[in-house]
Structure 1
Amino acid sequence: MADNKLLLNLSHNLREVLEDDEYYDITIEVGNDPYIKIFRAHMVILHYRSPYLRRIFSTNKRKNDGTLTHIKFPNILPEIFQIILRYIYGGVLPLDECDTSDIIKILVAANELKLQELIILLQSFLIENKSEWMKQNFSNIYRMIFENNSFLELQKYCTDLISEDPVKIFESPNFSSTPEKLLVALIRNDKLQMSEIQLWDYVLKWGLSQNPELPSDPTNFSKEDFNTLKNRLQRCIQFINFYNLTSEEFYKVIPYKKIIPKELYKDLLTHFLNSNNKKSEPNEPNIVKDIENNKSKSNVIENIKENKETNPGSNIVENKPVANIVEDIKENKPIVNIVEDIKKNELERNIFEFIEENKLEQTVIEVIEEPRKIRNKPAPNIIKEIEENSPNEDDNYYKKEIDSKIITYRHAKLILKWINKIYMKNMKNMNNTNTSTYTSYFSKWIYTDTTNNTTNNPNSMNITHTTHKLKLLLRGTRDGFAPQKFHNVCDNRFHTVVVIKTHNNEIIGGYNPVSWKSDVSYSITKDSFIFSFKGDGNHILSRVVCDAYATYNVNWYGPSFGVSDLSLREGNMGVCRQNSYEKPIRGTTDDFFATEYEVFQIVGI
C-alpha cells in the first residue's frame, strides 16, 4: 500500500511538471487549421518515454543559440494529444471517462507516436470492455484496424468476429473496398463459416472489382488480363483449399485456371481425375461397367455425353489414360480391345498437356490416369526404427555443457524432446505419401537416409541416428536487445529456439520451425510452441492452435510468437498474453522486462 501511495505521489508531481511553464525546452504544434494548439514539454521526459520521439530528437538537435526545439503532429487532434501527454508524464489514462470513439482516436495517435505499451493496453481495453460498441460500429473501424500493422490483437478479434458472420463483409455494398490484408486474414481463418466455393466466388468478385477494366467473361480475357488478375489475387489464392471443392464446383474454377499456380493446378487435376476422390452415386452411369458388359459403342458415347450434362463430377473410366480412351472411342475400336488396352496400359505422364490442348476438362475429366506406382506402394516401415534409435537418457550429448546463461542441459534436452515428438507425429501422419517425399522431408531432421543403397530398392532405407544440438546465434547482453540486431542475425534461419529470462527470474521461450522475416507478416506453421520453466522443475508447454498466426515478422519487434502470446519488443520490454497458443505460459498478463535472452539454431553435430 505504501508503495502505491508513493507511485501516486510521483505521478502527481510529474503531471505538475507538465503544467509548469518554467522549465520546458520543447514546443509541440498539434492539429490543423483552424484547430491548432501549442504544447510545452520537456525533452528529457519525452526522450525516455517514447522511442519514436527519441529518434526525432536525435535528427533535430537543439541549436546552441537558445532556440527551442519545435515539432509538429498535424494528424493528431489537440484534445487527444493532451490525454496522451498526461499519460507520458504521469502514467494515467482515464479511459472510463472517454467515449469509445475517442479511445479509437487515442489508439491511432499512440500508433503514430509508436507508444507500444499504450497500443497494447488500449487494444485489450477495447476487446474486454467495448465489444458491443465494436460490433455495432464494425463497418466504420475495421479498415483502420487492418491498415495499421501494430493492431494485431484487434485484427485477430475482428477476423474472428467476421468469421462467425462473414456476410457483414462479403455482402456489404463496400466489399470492393475491403483491405487485402483483411481478406487474406479471413481466408486463412479456420473458423470462417463459409464453403470453399463461396469463398472462391467472393475472392474472384473482389479481384475483378479491383480491376474494373477486365472483361466480365473470362473467355474474353487476354494473356495480360489473366496476369493482371493473377497478380491481384496471388496472396488470396494460396490460402483457398481447392481440394475441398466437389468436381462440379471445380468446373467453375477451370475458366480461371491461368491465375492458379501451374503445379497446384496439375495437382488439382490429379485430385479430381482420381476416381477414389468421389464415390459413385447410384444414379451415375458407370462407363467402365458399360464397356466390360460389352454394351454398344453408341450407348457408351451417349452415356459420356449424358454424364457430362447431368453429373459432370462423376467417374467414367479407371486406370486408362485420357488420350487413348478418347481416341479408341473416336476410331470405333472394338470394345473388347478397349478393355484389353485398359488392363495393359502404362501410365501416360503427359496427361495434363493432353487435357489442356484438347480442352477436355469439362468433358472427360472423370477419366483418370493410372496413379503413379509409387503412390500405391507402402511407405518404408521406419517408424519402429526411428523410435528404437531415439536419444535415450544416457545420450552423451546431453551431458555436454550448453552455451547458455539461461538454460541448463536438462532444459535443452527437454526442448529437443518436444521437437522430436512433433516430427515423429508428422512422420506417422505421412504413411500415405510417396516414399521420396517421405524420406526427403524427414531426412532434414532427426534421422538421415543413407545414399549408398546396395539393394537398389527405392523403398529400402538405412536409418542412421543424427544427434542435434543448440547453436547459439544471439545473446542480448553480448549483442544487444535491439530488434534490428535480432533480424540481422536470425532472419532466414529455420528451426530456432528463443529463451528469455525476465526481471523476476522466469524462463520463457519458444520454438519456430520456419524462418524469421522482417516483412510485416505472419508465418504459418502447426509445429511451433512456446514454453516456460519453473524454479521447482515444472514446466508449461503450449502448442500453437491458430497456425495462421504462429509467428509474427516485423522489423521493429524481436522474436514474436502468435498475437502477443510471446513477444520481445523495443528495448527489453516484452508481452505474454495467450491468444494463438493453447494455454498461457505465465501466471500474469503483465508486461515483463528481459534481463537476458538468447536465440539458438538446431544443427547437427
Structure 2
Amino acid sequence: MENVLQHCLHLVRFFGLSSEDFFQKVRPYKKLLKNQLYEELLESYLNPNSEPNDNILLPRYRNIDGIVNSKIVNLNIASLISRWMDKIDIKSKYIYTRELYLPYEFKLLLRGSKDGFTPKKFHKLCDNITHTESHNNGKWGETKDSFIFSFKNKNNFKDQILSHVENMSNALFYHTKYGPLFGGGDINIFVFENDDSKDFDQCYCRQRNYEKKIRDTVDKFSIEYYEVFQIIKKSIEIDIPYDHDSLRTFGEAEKEILFRTLSAEYKVSK
C-alpha cells in the first residue's frame, strides 16, 4: 500500500485540510508517509506562520459565482481583503491556504480593458455609488478605515504589503481629472493635461499619508490593467428544515443548538 501511495501523495493538497481533518484522516496513516513530509505537515498545523513547502500543493483556486468577477483578483485575495476590512486578526499570514472568508460581493463597476483608462469614464461609472467614496471637486475625503496594499504575486502572499492611513484627513482626494487617488501621493493616478477624456499618464506611488510604501520605487508607471469594485455585504438566507409547530416545542437551549448546527451546515455548503 505504501508503494502505491507514493505515486499519489504529490497530488494530495494537504494544505486544503482543516486541522480536524488532518488529525482524523491523515495522522492515523502517518506510517505510510515519508517522515520529512509528515513533519512538514505537522509543523504547518502547529505553527501558523510556517511557510508552505514548495513540494506541498496549495488548494486550487475556486470560482464562486456572485462573489468576484475579475481578471486581477482571485478568491484568496478577496478573502484576505475582506478580513482586512472587518479588522479580523490574522494570526497566520498563510491563513488563505486553508479558509476562505467571503462575506462580501465584489461587484465590478469598471474594467479598464473594456471601459478605458480615462478620468471621465472612471467618474461616470464609479461616482455616487453606495459603499464608494465621492467628494466635491478638489476636496479631501476623510476616513480612518482606508488602506492600500500590493501583491507582487497574486498566487503567493508572502510578499504582500498592507498600509493603513495615518493622516485620515488626507486619506482620499477627489478631482475630475484624477482617477483613484489615496493620500496625495501614496497612490496617484491622473492626467497631466486638464482633459478628462485622455488616458491616465501620471501614475506613481510615493509614501506620504499612509504608514508604508507599497512600491519599491517612486518612479512613474503605466497601467496595464485596472478594475474598480463596489463591495456589498452579502445577505444570508437559511431554509430551516423544520415546521413551526416542531420549533415551538424546542426549549431555548435546543433552538440554540439547532441554529448553530444550521449555521455550520451553511458554512460547509458554501
TM-score by length of 2: 0.52
Cα shift at 1:399: 5.1
Deviations 1:545-598 (A, max 9, x none): 000100000000011001111021122331110000001000110011101110
* 1:486 maps onto 2:107 in alignment: no
From 525, 539, 543, give the equivalent of 2:164.
Answer: 543
More helix by share: 1
Tell which deviates more after alignment, 537-546 or 563-572: 563-572
| Contact preservation (8 Å) 1:487, 1:517 | no
Give the CA deviation at 1:491: 1.2
CA distance in 1, matches of 2:129, 2:205: 23
In 2, are the aligned partners of 1:518 and 1:555 still within 8 Å (CA)? no
Look up the match of 1:554. 175
Q: CA deviation at 1:407?
A: 1.5
Q: Which amino acid aligns with 1:405?
A: K
Q: Is 1:516–1:553's contact at 8 Å kept on the other side of the alignment?
A: yes
Please point out which of 534, 559, 565 is paired with 2:152: 534
CA contact (8 A) 2:119 2:200 kept: no
CA contact (8 A) 1:491 1:518 kept: no
Is 1:576 the equivalent of 2:205? yes
Change in CA separation of 1:559 and 1:526 when aligned onto 2, cut-off 3 Å: same
Counterpart of 1:588 (choices 204, 210, 217) is: 217
Q: Equivalents in 1 of 2:145, 2:233: separation in Å?
A: 19
Contact 1:572–1:595 (8 Å) recurs in 2: no
CA distance in structure 2 between the partners assigned to 1:560 and 1:481 by the alignment: 14
Letter in 1 for 2:166: V
- Counterpart of 1:474 in structure 2: which amino acid? L
Q: Is 1:420 the counterpart of 2:86 in the alignment?
A: yes
Aligned length: 150
Q: 1-side partners of 2:138 and 2:128: how far apart?
A: 14
Post-superposition Cα deviations, 1:312-336, rounded to whole Å, max 9, x if no partner, equal xxxxxxxxxxxxxxxxxxxxxxxxx
Moved over 3 A (4+): none
User: What is the alpha-carbon distance in structure 2 between the residues aligned to residue 476 and residue 516 of structure 1?
Assistant: 20
**Is 1:601 matched up with 2:224?**
no
Question: Secondary structure in 2 aligned to 1:542?
Answer: strand
Letter in 1 for 2:149: F
Instruction: Provide the rounded CA distance (Å) in 2 between the counterparts of 1:488 and 1:518.
Output: 14
Q: Structure 1's 518 and 597: CA in aligned 2 closer, same or farther, altered over 3 A?
A: farther
Q: How far 1:493 moved relative to its partner?
A: 2.3
Kindly provide the CA deviation profile for residues 49-68 of structure 1, in whole angstroms up to 9, marking residues without a partner as x: xxxxxxxxxxxxxxxxxxxx
Q: How does 1:99-110 map to 2 (within 5 A)?
A: none
Which of 380, 396, 400 matches 2:64? 400
In the TM superposition, residue 604 of structure 1 has moved relative to its aligned partner by: 3.3
The amino acid of 1:528's aligned partner reads S
* Alpha-carbon spacing, 1:477–1:518, altered in 2? closer, same or farther (3 Å): farther
Distance in 2, matches of 1:545 and 1:399, equals 35
Alignment match, 1:523: 141
**Residue of structure 2 equivalent to 1:451:** none
Counterpart for residue 472 of structure 1: 108
Aligned mates of 2:172, 2:152 — CA distance in 1: 24
In the alignment, is the contact (CA less than 8 A) between 1:487 and 1:516 conserved in 2? no
Structure exhibiting the larger radius of gyration computed from Cα positions: 1
Q: 1:518 to 1:480 in 2, by over 3 A?
A: farther
Amino acid in the other structure paired with 2:215: R
SS at match of 1:596: coil
Once the 2 structures are TM-superposed, how far is the Cα of residue 494 of structure 1 from its aligned partner? 4.2
3-state SS of paired residue (2:223): strand
Q: Aligned letter for 1:493?
A: I
Which consecutive unaligned segments of at least 5 residues does structure 2 have?
1-61, 90-101, 192-198, 235-270
Deviation at 1:406, TM superposition (A): 1.1
Deviation at 1:517, TM superposition (A): 3.2
Deviation at 1:415, TM superposition (A): 0.7
3-state DSSP of counterpart to 2:87: helix
1:7-22 equivalences under 5 Å are none
Q: Give the Cα–Cα distance (whole angstroms) in 1 for the partners of residues 130 and 146 of structure 2.
A: 11
- Structure 1 CA distance for aligned equivalents of residues 109 and 124 of structure 2: 11
Over the aligned positions, Cα root-mean-square deviation in angstroms equals: 2.4
Partner deviation per Cα, 1:101-139 (whole Å, 9 max, x = no partner) = xxxxxxxxxxxxxxxxxxxxxxxxxxxxxxxxxxxxxxx
Mapped to 1, the partners of 2:129 and 2:163 lie a distance apart of 22
Matched to 1:563, the amino acid is G
* 1:494–1:516 CA contact under 8 A, matched in 2: no
In structure 2, the residue corresponding to 1:593 is in which secondary structure? coil
**Aligned partner (choices 564, 574, 597) of residue 185 of structure 2:** 564
Per-residue displacement from partner, 1:478-521 (whole Å, max 9, x unpaired)? Answer: 1111101111111122434xxxxxxxxxxxxxxxxxx2235110
Partner of 2:12: none
